């Protein structure tokens, strides 16, 4: 089977070269043996044929691994099947790349990054880098060296209708105590005044050196560096809503949904708590880990993206780690309750949502949750270019007031670095 896309003939581009997979070449015998020991004989047969260039066998192997990934709860999936899925993705991507089908190759490689294991991660990353570079070169050839620079479509405009936006905030919002705000807070000051006492604080003037501050409000830039990449998104009010679901779409499609939604009542699409920067290295280069994240001598646990339109909500919940929420583009409303009020916030009893409150702050049922009425909280509008420190176990509710691009940094203290 041989298919050549129109892009393959542009500007004399040569797609005869192939994707190098040294890790796959080295690990294949051992990995296939392990899969055989788990009863995956059909997969091993298809993967062996795929290694000789049989595209149909590669797709069959990928489908077999995919079925294993969905055979039960994610935590019960044997790690070897995640590596098997990565292996099959690499075989399929090689075929697409050889035929000049760059978007298809990227889509398959992203699926390997999102759903696959870590054994072949090095090959997946290097393949993505190579395919992305080829795609960018072809795009420049097609569009005459830089149509991207001629347009500056902004995700977020300078002004927004405060009265319109604020009417969607929970009752009592911005009527009481505000989160403390400090400008260019020193690490020593942060440790002494907020970290050790476990108090939240907004820190301003600490992101001016981030490339993301200059780049991420530009649709051209985001489309150029990430448009063809596949990402997981959440669709629905929030993860506690019955209509909530997850989808896999391209980043370009995600940006289009953000633009088209505006202030409409359409169901929001949210790229939430996703390790986007492990997947798309170009965006990772645009952010810097704040020095505050090394407080306590601990380690960074996760670096996640929170991208979405106005109206996206993260319901009231708490997290186990120290958290810096950096607001790169747009504005968010954040409400926080101290950890000492956990019982009064009616957490779910089942383990899956035990860190989330049963209270919907957007529609509070005071007869069902009477303790909430008089509870004190602090809140704020987190402005573009500001960071919010959220101590461990502090309950927080977050609503995007505009299209919003945020980054969260979780870290743990040295003595708790093994916590889950």
In this predicted structure, what is the pLDDT of residue 358? 95
In this predicted structure, what is the pLDDT of residue 236? 84
In this predicted structure, what is the pLDDT of residue 139? 74
Measure the CA–CA gap between 30 and 119, rounded to whole angstroms.
11
In this predicted structure, what is the pLDDT of residue 371? 93
Measure the CA–CA gap between 96 and 228, rounded to whole angstroms.
14
In this predicted structure, what is the pLDDT of residue 150? 53
What confidence tens digit (pLDDT) does each residue in 123-177 have?
A: 999 999 999 999 888 876 666 544 544 567 888 876 777 788 888 999 999 999 9
Residue 166 makes CB contacts below 8 A (sequence gap 6+) with 173, 174
Angle at which helix 102-115 crosses helix 55-69, to 10 degrees, equals: 30
Query: For the chain, what's the residue count?
Result: 420
In this predicted structure, what is the pLDDT of residue 158? 66
Tokens 């009592």 sit on residue: 172
Positions of the chain with pLDDT lower than 70, given as ranges? 1-16, 140-151, 158, 261-266, 415-420
Q: By CB neighbour count within 10 A (0-12 exposed, 13-18 middle, 19+ buried), where does 385 fall?
A: middle
């Amino acid at each position: 089977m041989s298919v050549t896309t129109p892009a393959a003939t542009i500007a004399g581009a040569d797609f005869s070269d192939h994707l190098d997979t040294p890790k796959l070449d080295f690990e294949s015998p051992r990995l296939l043996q392990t899969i055989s020991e788990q009863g995956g004989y059909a997969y091993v047969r298809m993967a062996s044929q795929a290694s000789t260039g049989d595209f149909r066998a590669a797709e069959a192997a990928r489908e077999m691994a995919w079925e294993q990934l969905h055979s039960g709860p994610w935590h019960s999936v044997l790690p070897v099947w995640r590596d098997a899925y990565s292996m099959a993705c690499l075989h399929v991507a090689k075929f697409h790349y050889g035929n000049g089908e760059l978007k298809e190759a990227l889509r398959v490689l992203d699926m390997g990054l999102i759903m696959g294991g870590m054994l072949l991660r090095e090959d997946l990353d290097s393949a993505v880098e190579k395919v992305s570079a080829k795609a960018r070169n072809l795009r420049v050839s097609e569009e005459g060296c830089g149509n991207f620079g001629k347009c500056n479509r902004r995700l977020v405009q300078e002004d927004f209708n405060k009265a319109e936006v604020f009417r969607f905030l929970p009752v009592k919002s911005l009527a009481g105590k505000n989160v403390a705000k400090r400008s260019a807070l020193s690490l020593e000051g942060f440790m002494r005044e907020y970290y050790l006492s476990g108090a939240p604080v907004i820190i301003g003037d600490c992101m001016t050196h981030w490339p993301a501050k200059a780049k991420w409000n530009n649709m051209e830039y985001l489309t150029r560096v990430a448009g063809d990449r596949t990402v997981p998104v959440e669709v629905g009010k929030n993860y506690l809503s019955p209509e909530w679901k997850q989808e896999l779409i391209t980043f370009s499609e995600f940006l289009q949904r953000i633009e088209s939604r505006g202030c409409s009542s359409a169901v929001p699409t949210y790229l939430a708590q996703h390790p986007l920067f492990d997947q798309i290295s170009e965006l990772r280069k645009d952010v810097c880990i704040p020095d505050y994240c090394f407080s306590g001598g601990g380690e960074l646990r996760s670096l996640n993206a929170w991208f979405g339109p106005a109206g996206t909500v993260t319901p009231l919940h708490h997290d186990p780690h120290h958290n810096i929420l950096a607001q790169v583009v747009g504005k968010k409303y954040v409400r926080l309750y101290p950890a000492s009020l956990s019982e009064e916030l009616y957490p779910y009893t089942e383990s899956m949502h035990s860190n989330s409150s049963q209270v919907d702050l957007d529609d509070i049922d005071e007869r069902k949750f009477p303790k909430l009425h008089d509870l004190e909280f602090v809140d704020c509008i987190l402005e573009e270019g500001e960071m919010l420190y959220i101590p461990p176990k502090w309950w927080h509710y977050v609503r995007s007031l505009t299209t919003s691009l945020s980054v969260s940094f979780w870290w743990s203290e040295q003595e708790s670095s093994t916590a889950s």
